[in-house]
Amino acid sequence: MLNLNRVGYGAMQLAGPGVYGPPADPDNAKAVLRRAVELGVDHLDTSDFYGPHVVNQLIKEALHPYPENLVIVTKIGFLRTPDKAWVPAHEPRQLRDAVHDNLRNLGLDRLQVVNLRLDPAEGPRERDIEREFTALAELREQGLVEHLGLSNATRAQLDQARAIAPVVCVQNMFNIADRRDSELVDHTAEEGIAYVPFFPLGGFGPLQHAALAEVAARHGATERQVALAWLLQRSPNVLLIPGTSSVRHLEENLLARELRLSDQDLTQLDTSG
């Protein structure tokens, strides 16, 4: 399993509206990245299709040369078009090009972790992934990629990928209000694979859960902090990548590392929705 601090940072929100184009305030975006590292974040989640290219370039401008302990996790498998659409790009040539784009824009000779993003955010769907994951495994053998992961994957796809090359992480949608992936969380824990929930705080819409406010009030915490703490206590293999474009929200999110929910809290959160 990846040996990382359990709360990282997801950089998607550093791009402009719709995850497209530059942010209104690039200096603020870079300040968020620098503050994350100052506060002990040792893994960033990004992609060259955020922007496109914008977020990786901001990361390079803010943090290069990178701290020795910083792991940059990127994902490939989609392209952005001028109308801001997300277009699948799973042909081996497209995957190779995407790896080289990430290397160039991040200023790296080797990508530490590359997740193969399989399908749009509405959820995984069963299909064969041998051809595309084999292409990534070849890039790993060439030394351009150190570790491989999957994003928006099913259990069957994880099994298929692991028959081709080692998989160190799975990045799927999972949060206190959307627990459809619970079985995969448990399976990855048993197999020593990190599980990285994207949209841990609800994504593009606010997280809705009846008990969050009451539990947060008991702890003098925010609902966001409780939602993150619940994920940390859900399984020891969970790594978090909450994203924000605000230094204040970043600092609040990272305080979830110190919040310990009681058995009463967990029971209440697990029995009300």
Distance CA 109, CA 223 (A): 40
The pLDDT assigned to 202 comes to 82
> What are the residue ranges of helices labelled H in the chain?
26-38, 54-63, 92-106, 130-141, 155-162, 182-191, 212-219, 223-234, 247-254, 263-271
Q: Which of 9, 20, 50, 66 is flagged as catalytic?
A: 50
Q: With beta carbons less than 8 A apart as the criterion, state whether 244 and 250 touch.
A: yes
Q: Which of 172, 161, 87 is nearest to 122 (CA)?
A: 172
Decide if 195 is catalytic. no
Task: Dump pLDDT digits (tens) for 1-13.
Answer: 688 999 999 999 9
* pTM for the structure as a whole: 0.96
Secondary structure of 41-61 in the HEC alphabet? Answer: CCEEEEECCCECCHHHHHHHH
Q: In tens digits, what is the pLDDT along the chain, a chain of 273 residues? A: 688 999 999 999 999 999 999 999 999 999 999 999 999 999 999 999 999 999 999 999 999 999 999 999 999 999 999 999 999 999 999 999 999 999 999 999 999 999 999 987 678 999 999 999 999 999 999 999 999 999 999 999 999 999 999 999 999 999 999 999 999 999 999 999 999 999 998 876 778 888 999 999 999 999 999 999 999 999 999 999 999 999 999 999 999 999 999 999 999 999 886
- Name the CA radius of gyration of the chain, rounded: 18
Among all chains, which residue has been given the structure tokens 């975006």?
29
Q: Round to whole Å and give the CA distance between 33 and 35.
A: 5
Beta bridge partners of 74: 46, 114
CA atoms within 13 A on the CB side of 197: 33
pLDDT number for residue 1: 67
How far, in Å, CA of 43 to CA of 52, rounded? Answer: 20
pLDDT of residue 208: 80
Q: Which residues contact 229 (CB under 8 A, 6 or more apart)?
A: 221, 256, 259, 260, 261
Joined tokens for residue 112: 């530490």
Sign of CA dihedral 82, 83, 87, 91: negative
